[in-house]
Structure 1
Amino acid sequence: MPDAPVLLTEDADGVRTLTLNRPWRKNAIDHELWLTLADTLRHTATDRSVRAVVITGAGGAFCSGADISAPDNNHPVYRMRELTDVALLLHELPMPTVAKVRGVAVGAGWNLALGCDLVVATPEARFSQIFVRRGLSLDLGGSWLLPKLVGLQQAKRLALLAETLDGDQARELGLVTWVVPEDEIDTYVSDLAGRLAAGPPIALAQTKALLNAGADHTLREALAGEATAQGLNFATADAPEALAAFAEKREAQFTGRWTVHRPAMPGRENSEKTRGTDA
């Protein structure tokens, strides 16, 4: 129900399980959940009782991405900062992380899973870099994660075509670590997280940091570029058009038209009223 906590936290035997809890929206992440998730990750990073973290979703879905239908009057720069905080906190979390994926993991939801160290999914899970269907570009670290996981060409395929993959197809590309039957995934992840929690915490933290640093040092630059691009996307007609088309169950008509109203120059008020904003 909408009055329930948007993020459930459960601790057991050194494993902290974070459950996105907006099942009526397939766990799409709104402003409140972004802030709650960031705050929880921030506190988890310094909690020595936590040895491993599992991220999952309630109601048979992992996460359907950022909730673009939720009212949010914040400037896009501030909205993107919320995503940036979560991506960096998850990436820099010292303990191992596991994404347990049932159902959909699309857009920022898929990149949230990819930001974890290991991904366990069911064969029925569905993955998509859905951004272009919404008139948007990659975010939550997708432009940094995908090329490193699958190579540049496959990353472009996934991002430009927004194809939907099942669990087995995602595993074949190296985007899922294990595919486990639906009736076995809870036990499998519990055992996996328990093994990680039982490991040497400092060595695991150092190993994770070394692997992350060895891959690249430019995540902050990638996230800054994504935030800039996403701000530009929100200033076009395509993002609201995609939302309207989704609500009306029709194909979106993308134009790339610029919708930000420019201030009128002194003495040119009348001409500005008749000028379009396609430039």
Structure 2
Amino acid sequence: MAPAEPTGRIDAETRDGVCRLVMNRPDKKNALTIAMYTALTEAVEQAEKDPAVRVILFSGAGGNFTSGNDLRDFLDHPPEHESSPVFRFMTAIARAEKPLLAAVSGLAVGIGTTMLLHCDLVYAGTNARFLLPFANLGLCPEAGSSLLLPLLAGHRRASEILLFGEPFSAVKAKEIGLINAILADSELEAYALDLARKLTAKPQASIRLTKAMLKKTNAGLI
């Protein structure tokens, strides 16, 4: 009997100008399949086009952000071209003009950490754990992380994180500037959602222009 296809979904809901994108595969700690990457990409692209959406907020279901890529699914469907859903998602968040926020609880492995480098505001629960395991897996860092992490944390701290590939806490993530604040796990999503709503009330032209100016340093590099 052939193994069952991996399941999982992206829950998308827009309310009060905030598009909430929830990675929902709690039985696998929200490990991302190719199908989930496709859904994420389409949701981000649609939110960028939708005038009702002013802010995009990422989170995960079941107490984790994401445990990274579903390795079995990736072995079956390796991302080899720019048209791959994986690369399309990375491009979508790197080029997003609307503010990207993230509420991180539990595990944030691989893409779960590298995607945060493309978010504008990131908040984490006290139980959040971050991991960039690429060197341990014989891989190069993904999603521009070898450029963006040193810009954020400095060369030596970025080297420590990327070369050793060891997990680190929310406290360290805040120290290196990866996240804005640490919240009690029970308060995390409500806090992030409240800040997202505050952004929706501001003049949108100035919000987008400010984001563009902040990112201009990295324009064309990622």
Distance (whole Å) between structure 1 residues aligned to residue 206 and residue 107 of structure 2: 33
* Matching of residues 230-241 of structure 1 within 5 Å: none
Report which stretch shifted further, 82-91 or 102-111: 82-91
| Letter matched to residue 9 of structure 2 | V
The answer on whether the counterparts of 2:171 and 2:182 sit within 8 Å (CA) in structure 1 is: yes
Cα gap change, 1:189 to 1:75, in 2 (>3 Å): closer
SS of 2:71's partner is: coil
1:54 equivalent in alignment to 2:57:
yes
SS of 1:10's partner is: strand
The answer on whether the counterparts of 1:31 and 1:72 sit within 8 Å (CA) in structure 2 is: no
Displacement of 1:120: 0.2
Distance (whole Å) between structure 1 residues aligned to residue 219 and residue 10 of structure 2: 31
* 1:150-207 Cα distance to aligned partner (Å, 9 max, x none): 1222111111001211111110111111111112112211210111111111111111
Aligned to 1:125: 128
Distance (whole Å) between structure 2 residues aligned to residue 76 and residue 89 of structure 1: 16
Distance (whole Å) between structure 2 residues aligned to residue 6 and residue 22 of structure 1: 7
Distance (whole Å) between structure 2 residues aligned to residue 173 and residue 103 of structure 1: 18
TM-score when normalising by structure 1:
0.73
The answer on whether the counterparts of 2:93 and 2:118 sit within 8 Å (CA) in structure 1 is: yes
TM-score when normalising by structure 2:
0.91
SS of 2:80's partner is: helix
1:172 equivalent in alignment to 2:138:
no
| Letter matched to residue 143 of structure 1 | S
Distance (whole Å) between structure 2 residues aligned to residue 56 and residue 170 of structure 1: 17
Aligned to 1:39: 42
The answer on whether the counterparts of 1:6 and 1:22 sit within 8 Å (CA) in structure 2 is: yes
Could you tell me which of 63, 67, 71 is aligned with 1:68?
Answer: 71
Aligned to 2:94: 91
Report which stretch shifted further, 51-60 or 76-85: 76-85
Displacement of 1:71: 5.7
More strand by share: 2
Distance (whole Å) between structure 1 residues aligned to residue 78 and residue 67 of structure 2: 22
1:22 equivalent in alignment to 2:25:
yes
Point out where structure 2 has 5 or more consecutive residues left out of the alignment: none
The answer on whether the counterparts of 1:123 and 1:180 sit within 8 Å (CA) in structure 2 is: yes
Could you tell me which of 7, 12, 15 is aligned with 1:9?
Answer: 12
Distance (whole Å) between structure 2 residues aligned to residue 11 and residue 75 of structure 1: 32
| Letter matched to residue 201 of structure 2 | A
Distance (whole Å) between structure 2 residues aligned to residue 71 and residue 119 of structure 1: 27
Could you tell me which of 88, 105, 110 is aligned with 1:107?
Answer: 110
Identity of aligned residues (%): 32
| Letter matched to residue 202 of structure 2 | G
Cα gap change, 1:135 to 1:4, in 2 (>3 Å): closer
Cα gap change, 1:3 to 1:145, in 2 (>3 Å): same
| Letter matched to residue 93 of structure 2 | L
Displacement of 1:132: 2.1
Point out where structure 1 has 5 or more consecutive residues left out of the alignment: 220-279
1:143 equivalent in alignment to 2:146:
yes
Displacement of 1:217: 2.6
Report which stretch shifted further, 47-56 or 143-152: 143-152
Cα gap change, 1:130 to 1:196, in 2 (>3 Å): same
